[in-house]
Amino acid sequence: MERFPQNTAPQRRRETLEDRGRMNAERVAAAASFEHLYNTLYGIGTITNKAGKVYSAGEVVRAIELVRDGEANLNTVTSAYGIRGKVESLMVEEARGAAA
């Protein structure tokens, strides 16, 4: 009879969290517009950064809106799941569209 290691549950939990983080990052990267990004964030629900700080989707969307309105710096948006980078690229695209 084969025996399983005693402490495999924490390892499986860590892998599951890492998989979820990877999937969420892929979903964020696929957003083609701010509306799509917002819908993605609300679909994710809660966003946890590497330090363990948890944000609601609404908090992140509000932070993004403040940046878009010029009332806050881009660094105020969490970089979890690549969100800050996605906001930056969408803002560049938005600026190009406005300049055209």
> Is pTM, for the whole model, over 0.85?
no
Q: Is 1 inside a domain boundary?
A: no
Q: Is 2 inside a domain boundary?
A: no
HSE (side-chain half, CA atoms, 13 Å) at 95 = 9
| Full domain range(s) for residue 64 | 9-99
Q: Is 65 inside a domain boundary?
A: yes
Q: Is 19 inside a domain boundary?
A: yes
Number of domains in the chain: 1
Q: Is 87 inside a domain boundary?
A: yes
Q: What is the pLDDT of residues 26-81, one digit of tens each?
A: 999 999 999 999 999 999 999 999 899 999 999 999 999 999 999 999 999 999 99
Q: Is the dihedral of CA 92, 94, 98, 100 positive or negative?
A: positive
Return d(Cα 60, Cα 83) in angstroms, integer. 9
